Structure 1
Amino acid sequence: MATIDADHQQDAGDYAENETLILDMLDRFLKTEVKPYVHELDAKDEYPHEIVEKMKDMGLFGCLIDTEYGGLGLSTATYAKIVDRISAVWMSVSGIINSHLIMAMTIQRNGTDAQKREFLPRMATGELRGGIGLTEPDCGTDLQAIRTVAKRDGDHYVVNGSKTWITNSKYGNVLALLVKTDPEAQPRHKGMSLLIVEKGPGFEVSRQLEKLGYKGIDTCELNFTNFRVPVSRVIGGEEGLGLKQILSGLELGRINVAARGVGVAQAALDEAVAYSQQRKTFGKPICEHQAIALKLGEMATRVEAARLLTDSAARAYDKGLRCDMEAGMAKYFATEAAVENSMEAMRIHGAYGYSKEYNVERLYRDAPLLTIGEGTNEMQRLIIAKMLIARNPA
């Protein structure tokens, strides 16, 4: 993936100008095509079909895909800014491109030339909208415990099993599916592979899950019954590499979730700042009361720190460095900032913050998911500690 560095100042200047143009275009899109419809779509838990079609036209489904495959070839640092801005308006929209791009980048980084040529151009346009099929009913964080099995049958695998909490699985049409190609392998990860699967006989979307927040996006349970997948669809063309491949992809996922946290935390701050200047008690705006001012100061600092951590992780990913520690730090801090800021925004709004008429109620419902998705924050702290020790041996 292309990166910007000090040795290419002219290129850096051009890239910065292009980034500004892209972000300005995105802001206009969010203001006119997303913001006016968020309240209704969220209340109805309705998939935003028209918004998705416009996102396809803008090239957002290909923003990280290399230009040789028809994508925009943007840096992860720019992508994080895109996700930040989208999430400040409606977090659900960012989820539609996140799972898709985790799959696309897994193919781009690990796939065979034939797989890249077959899938990436169609993913860049949004013709194929993808996701990742990892979690199972009895298996979340411990991915090595998955039970979905792909048994070789000639030039196909026959897949049987189930997945849950899979984004883009109802209205999308392709998944990177984590399976056991050798259930007896030891260690277990050596028997795991990633398959590129398109919908067909034996691939059933059994139900869409109802959620506290994160409305309007398809999150479903899937069943696979004698579902046949060509052997040529093993990502990279070799069995046993699936866990390693998807863990690398989850670094990008955690950067995305961190950026979502920044967006939600920023939106909560913006709502609180605006309301605290309008609402008056004891003859003055509540922002002039020390109790409220202290909250605003904390909220603003959280947003800035979260944004800097997210940018640092994104730049490490762009350089091709292992960045599970940086991505974990960003994901952990930014998502906790989203939860804390959404709560403080609700408190600053008082009873109005508990009303569905105000955006802070939605932010309060959306934020907690971020501390769970793409690896719980408890797990992130363990990863941070493990990498800290590994990088600083005694």
Structure 2
Amino acid sequence: MPLDPETLGQLVGTVSRFVREQLIPLEHKVADDDAIPPSVVAAMREMGLFGLSIPEEYGGIGLSMAEEVQVAFELGQTSPAFRSLIGTNNGIGSQGIVIDGTDEQKRAYLPRLASGEIVGSFALTEPEAGSDAGSLRTTARRNGDHYVLNGTKRFITNAPHAGLFTVFARTGTQEEGARGVTAFLVEAGTPGITLGPLDKKMGQKGAHSCDVIFEDCRVPATAVLGGREGQGFKTAMKVLDRGRLHISAVCVGAAERLIRDSLAYSMERKQFGQPIAEFQLIQAMLADSRAEAYAARCMVLETARRKDAGTDVSTDAACCKMFASEMVGRVADRAVQIHGGAGYIADYGIERFYRDVRLFRIYEGTTQVQQLVIARNMIREAA
């Protein structure tokens, strides 16, 4: 059930203050330590941030899509590592269970995900399967009342902290492609699961990923998400619209933060006896960034509202993800340019954002995948 405007305003305001007063001051420390302080994690649990999109009946807040993106606008204003920790619990780590899980699976896992007791992780990508998810090589072979999983998953966000993995494995033949893929709910600590070393990434320090290796990992048949084989790829596709809109909103938030910092710096920094904000070429960069961020915000809000109304927004969600992620990359590049040498120095945090936002054009579907989705849907609709 949607929140009333006053309650939603209070929630967004609380998150905004939390970001401004507690998270932004910790950005450098998180980047240096490559870790989020336990006190911050505890505060996130207390605020209910792990359960933003999980239904109220399972202990979450149950935000609509339009409400969720407004919170994501605020979370995007700081280091993406903070949002990443709660992102899988609200997105791909929980929504498959919300949409397709059995009643038993929902009761078993959604309350724990909503409270932050466990962190969810979405184990889809493999060394030879990313955008081509239908070519998965991880296998799940039926053995009595169990399945035996074998394979390696790569770049799995939050895997080092996960209590629950949504694992996609092939129960059918390779020739069946996506139709032979099944999703499993596998608890961390199950014998046969090992984790690789932490990935050393270009950016987003404090947000951790690693390989997840399954070697004769036995899980009960009740671990099949939804209780049916061959539905895994369909489940993955169902959660994408929400995930893409959420990431788009985070991109908007990051862009707005960069614009605010760039404007403040340009009004203080003087050259030739005046603030550089008085120079028209600086103004052009500020104006271009503002216009593009505003366009992305409008796209995200409108598409979120239409999704809540029950409209199929697959094409528009892909448009949002493509535009917003590319937009924030351009805004970050201009922010470095406006800051000049200071933009290249770590003290100001601009170069960190420049590296952090680069990932947005890759996960939840690369820009090129979004282009294919958009174009193919256009052709299908026209035909």
**Structure 1 vs Structure 2 CA RMSD:** 1.3
Give the one of 26, 45, 49 matched to 2:38: 49
Does residue 293 of structure 2 align to residue 298 of structure 1? no
Report what 1:129 is aligned to. Answer: 119
Superposed, which structure 2 residues align to 1:139-158 within 5 Å? Answer: 139-158=129-148
Q: Residue 62 of structure 2 aligns to a residue in which SS? A: coil
Q: 1:235 and 1:224 mapped to 2: Cα distance?
A: 18
Of residues 186-195 and 44-53 in structure 1, the stretch that sits farther from structure 2 once superposed is 44-53
Aligned-residue offset at 1:291? 0.5
Q: 1:234 and 1:52 mapped to 2: Cα distance?
A: 30
Report what 1:167 is aligned to. Answer: 157
Q: 1:125 and 1:19 mapped to 2: Cα distance?
A: 19
Spell out, residue by residue over 1:188-211, the C-alpha distance to the aligned partner (whole angstroms, 9 max, x if none). 222111101101211111111010
Does residue 155 of structure 2 align to residue 190 of structure 1? no
Aligned-residue offset at 1:389? 2.2
Report what 2:210 is aligned to. Answer: 220
Spell out, residue by residue over 1:20-58, the C-alpha distance to the aligned partner (whole angstroms, 9 max, x if none). 000111122112321111111112222443222211111
Report what 2:370 is aligned to. Answer: 380
Report what 2:277 is aligned to. Answer: 287
Contact 2:157 / 2:209 at 8 angstroms: preserved in 1? yes
Q: Residue 298 of structure 1 aligns to a residue in which SS? A: helix
Give the one of 107, 110, 115 matched to 1:117: 107
Q: 1:31 and 1:295 mapped to 2: Cα distance?
A: 25
State TM-score, norm by structure 1.
0.94
Query: CA distance change for structure 1 residues 316 and 124 in 2, over 3 Å: closer, same or farther?
Result: same
Does residue 342 of structure 2 align to residue 352 of structure 1? yes
Q: 2:37 and 2:252 mapped to 1: Cα distance?
A: 22
Q: 1:100 and 1:320 mapped to 2: Cα distance?
A: 23
Q: 2:372 and 2:123 mapped to 1: Cα distance?
A: 24
Superposed, which structure 2 residues align to 1:330-345 within 5 Å? Answer: 330-345=320-335
Report what 2:22 is aligned to. Answer: 33
Name structure 2 gaps, 5 residues minimum.
Answer: none
Q: May I ask how many residue pairs the two structures share in their alignment?
A: 381
Aligned-residue offset at 1:320? 3.8
Aligned partner letter, 1:139: A
Spell out, residue by residue over 1:330-369, the C-alpha distance to the aligned partner (whole angstroms, 9 max, x if none). 1111111110000101100000000000021111011111
Aligned-residue offset at 1:315? 2.2
State TM-score, norm by structure 2.
0.96
Runs in 1 of length 4+ with deviation above 6 angstroms? none
Q: 1:174 and 1:354 mapped to 2: Cα distance?
A: 39
Does residue 279 of structure 2 align to residue 259 of structure 1? no
Does residue 258 of structure 2 align to residue 268 of structure 1? yes
Of residues 14-23 and 162-171 in structure 1, the stretch that sits farther from structure 2 once superposed is 14-23
Q: Residue 212 of structure 1 aligns to a residue in which SS? A: coil
Aligned partner letter, 2:242: L
Contact 1:159 / 1:224 at 8 angstroms: preserved in 2? yes
Spell out, residue by residue over 1:106-155, the C-alpha distance to the aligned partner (whole angstroms, 9 max, x if none). 11111111111111111111112101001001111000111110111111
Q: Residue 208 of structure 1 aligns to a residue in which SS? A: coil
Report what 1:7 is aligned to. Answer: none
Does residue 98 of structure 2 align to residue 108 of structure 1? yes
Name structure 1 gaps, 5 residues minimum.
Answer: 4-13
Aligned partner letter, 1:34: L
Of residues 24-33 and 292-301 in structure 1, the stretch that sits farther from structure 2 once superposed is 24-33
Of residues 40-49 and 360-369 in structure 1, the stretch that sits farther from structure 2 once superposed is 40-49
Report what 2:221 is aligned to. Answer: 231
